[in-house]
Amino acid sequence: NQYDVVARIHGGGVAGQAGALRHGIARALEGDDPERRAPLKRAGLLRRDARETERKKYGLKKARKAPQYSKR
């Protein structure tokens, strides 16, 4: 009830954008009042989802998908 949040998020999908917004709000709340850090950390809101897209390798169709193999 104390804060109004306006945010623009670019890139990623719906779930990723929601996670980024949640992380941003948690960091803003922590910056406003350092006493909030412990409960936010316990709730896992200060942790970033560090997964990134694996690069495509040459000789493969995608990052891990190999071209079809024929034994005969």
Could you read off the pLDDT tens digit of each residue along the chain, which spans 72 residues?
789 999 999 998 999 999 999 999 999 999 988 899 999 999 999 998 888 999 999 999 999 999 999 999
What is the pTM assigned to this prediction? Answer: 0.72
Give just the sign of the alpha carbon dihedral 11, 13, 18, 23. negative
Q: What is the pLDDT of residue 17?
A: 94
Instruction: Determine the 3-state secondary structure of 47 from DSSP.
Output: coil
